Amino acid sequence: MKFSELDLIEPILNALHKKGYTEPTPIQEKSIPAILSGKDIFGNAQTGTGKTASFALPILQMLHLDPNKNGPRNAKALILAPTRELALQISENIREYGAQLRIKHAVVFGGVSQNPQVNAIRNGVDIIIATPGRLLDLINQGHVRLSSIKFLVLDEADRMLDMGFINDIKKVLKMVPEKRQTLFFSATASKEIMVLANTILKDPVHIAVNPVASAAPIIKQSVYYVAKEDKKQLLNHLLKNEKIPQVLIFTRTKHGADKVVKELVRNGIKADAIHGNKSQGARERVLRGFKDRSLRVLVATDIASRGIDVDKLSHVINYEIPEQAETYVHRIGRTGRAGAEGSAMSFCSRDEMSYFRDITKLIKKNIEPVTNHPFAK
């Protein structure tokens, strides 16, 4: 199927063509027609499946075709995201997809001055993309009103619950009109998620793609069994290989991320970290460097990595094995996107063996060990 078969308008098709997108991903193919027909959506989809476009494209189209669009410019669409990185990523996508439309949007998140965000909203916007905390701050100060919202999106709802945003979400839900279209996306379908979804969705279309227990088949997975103290030498050894042009490395802690960066920089490798202790400006600068490929290695913690979406990322390294098996699938899903091949390598020390066993049980697959490396145990 082609995007041109999904009843999308010419300006949006032109924007997709400019980005080199011709065929929708499974979630886009299923979601876009349902959303355009006015249905609520429960999308069970993990990061890397193309879900941002699956809600952004139809919302942009419906706002553009709204017969009342020339009235007062009050926000008609609200997109809630768990982290500022993801909010910025969605904002960037909306800017690209709506390049030929006169749709204005603002992105709202904490950790930076609120003044530019308030000014953007005051000048009139059609779409607000926000993290829950800062959104409620601006509502309480009288800068944002949600009485005109027609479209509500909860993106990565499972992560929002993990981060303790449930009460903030409930407050926001009381402020948006009952008569609206709600689009709900979550990588998992836990009991808590289903309870939340059932309270806010009306007769939704359920769409499930790439359940969390599966990784894209085009990702080559491998494991290096290595002593904990030898991990940094193994990493340096692998990065001498020019066949790894760029890599996203995962650690479990912020301190661990900084230690890996320090070691790599000492060895002349251009690397930087992204995590919660960095200022918003620093995080954006690091992410920009990674996206424009001036930075070869980005080291991230799991929460900070939400919203990192880099075209044609070839390699992911699990420097530390995650404690939650599902997290492994999210991590490696950063590579092997949009039909490109990817490679995911995991460094597993003796104390991480039980975590790794949980991963192979979840994905129902044995991961090939690499035995011919200098630090093999």
Length of the chain measured in residues: 377
Q: Where are the alpha helices (DSSP H) in 1-126?
A: 10-18, 26-36, 51-65, 84-97, 115-122
pLDDT for 304: 62
Residue 5 has pLDDT above 90, yes or no: yes
* CA pair distance 264, 270, nearest whole angstrom: 7
Q: Which of 61-75, 97-111, 263-277, 361-375 has the lowest average pLDDT?
A: 61-75
**CB within 8 A of 131, min separation 6: which ones?**
80, 81, 82, 83, 84, 87, 108, 109, 110
pLDDT tens digits along 79-130: 999 988 889 989 999 999 999 999 999 999 988 899 999 999 999 999 999 9
220 pLDDT higher than 60: yes
344/328 Cα distance (integer angstroms): 10
Residues whose CB is less than 8 angstroms from the CB of residue 61 and which lie 6 or more positions away in sequence, other chains included: 8, 9, 12, 36
Q: Mean pLDDT, the chain, as a whole number?
A: 89
Q: Which CATH architecture has domain 3-208?
A: 3-Layer(aba) Sandwich (3.40)
Percent of the chain with pLDDT over 70: 93
Residue 145 has pLDDT above 80, yes or no: yes
Quick one: which H or E segment has residue 127? strand 127-130
Residue 328: pLDDT over 90 = no
Rounded to 10°, the helix 132-140/115-122 angle is 70
Say whether 219-369 and 3-208 share the same fold. Answer: yes
Question: Per-residue pLDDT averaged across 29-49, rounded?
Answer: 89
Task: Specify the pTM.
Answer: 0.67
So what's the pLDDT on residue 215?
54
Alpha-helix residue ranges (DSSP H) falling in the chain: 10-18, 26-36, 51-65, 84-97, 115-122, 132-140, 157-162, 166-175, 191-200, 231-239, 254-266, 280-291, 302-305, 325-332, 353-363
Residue-wise pLDDT tens digits, 243-267: 888 999 999 888 999 999 999 999 9
190-199 average pLDDT score: 88
Q: What is the pLDDT of residue 83?
A: 86
Compute the average pLDDT of residues 166-177.
94
Superfamily of domain 219-369: P-loop containing nucleotide triphosphate hydrolases (3.40.50.300)
Q: Where are the domains of the chain?
A: 3-208, 219-369
The amino acid sitting at 90 is: I
Which helix (H) or strand (E) segment holds residue 221: the answer is strand 219-225
With H, G, I as helix, E, B as strand and everything else as coil, classify residue 311.
coil
130 and 171 Cβ atoms separated by less than 8 Å: no
Check whether 330 has a pLDDT greater than 90: no
- Cα separation of 184 and 106, whole Å? 20
Query: What pLDDT shows up at residue 212?
Result: 47
CB 370 within 8 A of CB 237: no
The fraction of the chain above a pLDDT of 90, given in percent, is 59
